[in-house]
Structure 1
Amino acid sequence: MPFEDGQPMIHSDVMDALRMSDSLVVAFKRVKLSEARIATLFSNDINNLHPRNHCVRLLEVLPVPNEDDKKILVMVWMRPVMNPRFRTVGEAIQFFTEMIEGLQYMHENNVAHRDCSINNMAMDANSMYPRPFHPMKPKKQYDWSGKALHHSRTRCPPRYYLMDFGHSRIYDSSSSQSRTLEYALMSGGCTPPEGLEGRPCDPFATDVFLLGNLIRTSFLDGDSELAEPGVSGFEFLRPLAMDMLAEDPSKRLTMDEVSSRFSQIVEKLSWWTLRSRAIKKSEHVLSKPFRATYHIFWTISMLVLLKPAIPRPKPLC
């Protein structure tokens, strides 16, 4: 229906609300205790402000009346990672950096996500939107009064978060030799090789595969099943992604190795590469000259404003 009160909920266990103290749009999500336990672990006083912790921050955890095996997680309402689209290579580098750090930090705390597709990552884009967007119709303002206008990621950097820990597990050891093996799950429409073969595997290696598959399908090659064309300008990540996607889980990189190699790759990128357009491969050829010209003037404005090529969000407090 074309009216605000006629918009359906996106999920029976998720609803939006407005925090009265500051008009922040928040999400209420009903989850099992196991998911609440992991989400709470990364929102406690020790982990909450750690610079490499990119697990979703909880504002509050509420009980569910008459359901002792459930909890309600309260968090900032966020947007899909790819909406709006990345304008520059540097903006995407910020996303990769935060997700690599986040998964690495989870592994350091002996936690495997096990479902880390782009569907289970989100963007806190409130800094980008002068007026709040509507949860069910993100192109509209929260009060349905018009289009939700936004700044670019370069000008007003967002934050990216890992979320949805329904399949995540906490392990007793960080050693791959003694860690419990798990059967891989389909995540984001992709089943890792070990899942197709039906054999248990180190869940940390499966996480690495899923993150590498995200880079391949969302940026390098696209996803034919979802009619996603991919994004030009990221071929420098292909060798890293291929090593993350090794068929044999024992030959895949660890997240520490992924982080180290990624940092080395980024250090070698020129400022012009970082500020160049992230072009959807489906972009019409006739529109490219106009968008390229606009991008030059936009880039000059970002340089005048002293905005770095890789966005840097303000420190959490």
Structure 2
Amino acid sequence: MDVVDSSPASRPTADEQCSTLYPHELAWRDRQPFLESHGYMLRPRLRPGWVPSWRVSGDNPWFCEDSHSLRMFPHIVDATRMSDGKLVSIKLVRTGSLEMRIALYLCTPPLCEDIKNHCVPLLDLFEDNKDASRSYMVTPFLRDFDDPLFDCVNDVLDLGEQYLEGLVFLHRSGVAHRDCTNANMMMDAGPLYPRGFHPLLGEFLPDGKTGTWPNSRTRCPVKYYFIDFGISRYFPPDVQSKLVIGGDGRDQEPPELSDDIPYDPFKLDVFILGNFLRKNFYDRFSNVEFMRPIWEAMTRANPDERPSAADALQQWQRMRKAVSYCHRSWRLKRREESRGWTLFLGLVHVIMVVHCAVTRSKCHVAFCLVMYNRRQGDVLWLRSCRYSAFPGDVAHHGAFHELNIFQSQTTCCARHRAI
């Protein structure tokens, strides 16, 4: 039996690890000149002739912007629109695919002009110059719906109303998403990061070195979007039967999913969105009990007993109006919080809101909980929390952020050494 040499000398160096391009990175690098001809520039790492910056500057590779590889989705890459510096996402799709056709349909007038349209905007679309069966869809670069984390209860109320509003729009337009769950729920974080952010290191500016802190959703509202119409279905107005078959989708809990028995995809959307609200908010936070009647109705086993998206939206709007001002303004309380931690955070919340209401000044209190590797003394992770209250807000909402900053320059080095 072969023995694996795990000695330090046998391990690849930091330069070797950071300078090696993955196969899909090589593919994007080879397409960079073509993308540039259409007005889009990839990051330095993905350009032909790239020379790692640390070999010139002498800096630690782990601290350099171009050391971070593209690992998440091989068919998607971030880029910069050269005309205005806008951060965009480029997705490789099959020409004429259902996803491509639905995206085009939802981004044509008058649908694209509807403020209730929460489908990711299509900025550009073009075929590959070497393979006509492949096309590139360009959209704004979006972040996960919960990145950064939420500040207060009102943020959850706003998210729920926006997604229900977007689902009503989709269904009214004849489109059933069929996969409206976590991975396909995004937001435009531009208002939270007015100076921009790095596409891979979300808590850093575009240079990948300078840390940044998000604004509050209360002060700077965001818009939430649906993405990925890969398994969606479009039904023209004159189609009578609006049923589908198939068990695809990330959420496998809907009881009607079947490869043989047709079911209503619109009622499926209602179930999936209700399940999304339950799992991400009701199950995690103890002070959003008010949403239980809605998600329970949306996730009934019998599709015929579920409300339509429009009815669910009306219920949500009535519920939102019934939630008191103080309740909406309060921070989200995790179910696993200890009593002592809850009292402490509640006290901080009250003190800061009162302070800002009295002084009319912007206040920030920051503290960090750092866990150390006792054997090596390396920082394993950094949990950073900030409380802020902003003057000028109608509700003087407080904001409490809890961010796991694994991309920080300090932790990044420690993590790679551990690997």
TM-score higher than 0.5: yes
User: For residues 303 and 267 of structure 1, do their structure 2 counterparts lie closer, same or farther at Cα, with a shift above 3 Å needed?
Assistant: farther
User: For residues 197 and 180 of structure 1, do their structure 2 counterparts lie closer, same or farther at Cα, with a shift above 3 Å needed?
Assistant: closer
Classify the secondary structure of the residue corresponding to 1:238.
helix
User: Which protein is richer in helix relative to its size?
Assistant: 2
Deviation, structure 1 residue 266 = 1.1
Could you tell me whether the CA contact under 8 Å between 1:209 and 1:246 is conserved in 2? yes
Question: Partner of 2:272 in structure 1?
Answer: 210
Is 1:68 aligned with 2:140?
no
Deviation, structure 1 residue 8 = 2.1
Could you tell me whether the CA contact under 8 Å between 1:63 and 1:71 is conserved in 2? yes
Question: Partner of 2:323 in structure 1?
Answer: 269
Classify the secondary structure of the residue corresponding to 1:287.
helix
Classify the secondary structure of the residue corresponding to 1:97.
helix
Is 1:260 aligned with 2:314?
yes
Deviation, structure 1 residue 217 = 0.7
**Where in structure 2 are the equivalents of 1:81-230 lying within 5 Å?**
81-173=145-237, 178-188=241-251, 190-195=252-257, 199-221=261-283, 230=284
Deviation, structure 1 residue 198 = 5.9
- Matched AA of 2:235: Y
Of stretches 8-17 and 59-68 in structure 1, the one that deviates more from structure 2 is 59-68
Q: Distance in 1 between matches of 2:191 and 2:141?
A: 12
Classify the secondary structure of the residue corresponding to 2:186.
strand
Question: Partner of 1:243 in structure 2?
Answer: 297
Classify the secondary structure of the residue corresponding to 2:345.
helix
Classify the secondary structure of the residue corresponding to 1:90.
helix
User: For residues 306 and 271 of structure 1, do their structure 2 counterparts lie closer, same or farther at Cα, with a shift above 3 Å needed?
Assistant: same
**Where in structure 2 are the equivalents of 1:4-23 lying within 5 Å?**
4-9=65-70, 10-23=72-85
Deviation, structure 1 residue 168 = 0.7
User: For residues 58 and 149 of structure 1, do their structure 2 counterparts lie closer, same or farther at Cα, with a shift above 3 Å needed?
Assistant: same
Question: Partner of 1:227 in structure 2?
Answer: none
Question: Partner of 2:333 in structure 1?
Answer: 279
User: For residues 7 and 282 of structure 1, do their structure 2 counterparts lie closer, same or farther at Cα, with a shift above 3 Å needed?
Assistant: farther
- Root-mean-square deviation (CA, aligned residues, Å) is 2.3
Classify the secondary structure of the residue corresponding to 2:246.
coil
Is 1:24 aligned with 2:89?
no
Q: Deviations over 1:82-134 (max 9, x none)?
A: 11111111111111111001111000011000100021010101111132221
Classify the secondary structure of the residue corresponding to 2:112.
coil
- Matched AA of 2:320: V
Deviation, structure 1 residue 174 = 8.2
User: For residues 91 and 8 of structure 1, do their structure 2 counterparts lie closer, same or farther at Cα, with a shift above 3 Å needed?
Assistant: same
Classify the secondary structure of the residue corresponding to 1:294.
helix
Q: Distance in 2 between matches of 1:46 and 1:130?
A: 29
Q: Distance in 2 between matches of 1:194 and 1:56?
A: 28
**Where in structure 2 are the equivalents of 1:283-294 lying within 5 Å?**
283-294=337-348
Deviation, structure 1 residue 309 = 8.1
Of stretches 289-298 and 114-123 in structure 1, the one that deviates more from structure 2 is 289-298
- Matched AA of 1:306: D
Is 1:78 aligned with 2:142?
yes
Deviation, structure 1 residue 27 = 0.7
Q: Distance in 1 between matches of 2:255 and 2:99?
A: 26
Deviation, structure 1 residue 68 = 2.8
User: For residues 265 and 93 of structure 1, do their structure 2 counterparts lie closer, same or farther at Cα, with a shift above 3 Å needed?
Assistant: same
Of stretches 67-76 and 278-287 in structure 1, the one that deviates more from structure 2 is 278-287
Q: Distance in 1 between matches of 2:351 and 2:228?
A: 39
Q: Which has the higher contact order (CA 8 A, sep 6+)?
A: 1
Deviation, structure 1 residue 284 = 4.8
Of stretches 1-10 and 98-107 in structure 1, the one that deviates more from structure 2 is 1-10
Structure-2-length-normalised TM-score: 0.67
Classify the secondary structure of the residue corresponding to 2:89.
strand
Question: Partner of 2:288 in structure 1?
Answer: 234
Max Rg structure = 2
- Matched AA of 2:261: R
Structure 2: gaps spanning 5 or more residues? 1-17, 19-61, 357-388, 398-419
Structure 1: gaps spanning 5 or more residues? 222-229, 311-317
Q: Distance in 2 between matches of 1:294 and 1:275?
A: 14
User: For residues 70 and 35 of structure 1, do their structure 2 counterparts lie closer, same or farther at Cα, with a shift above 3 Å needed?
Assistant: farther
Q: Deviations over 1:234-268 (max 9, x none)?
A: 11111111111111112211111111111111121
Question: Partner of 2:108 in structure 1?
Answer: 44
Q: Distance in 2 between matches of 1:211 and 1:298?
A: 35
Of stretches 14-23 and 206-215 in structure 1, the one that deviates more from structure 2 is 14-23
Could you tell me whether the CA contact under 8 Å between 1:186 and 1:192 is conserved in 2? no
Q: Distance in 2 between matches of 1:103 and 1:255?
A: 6
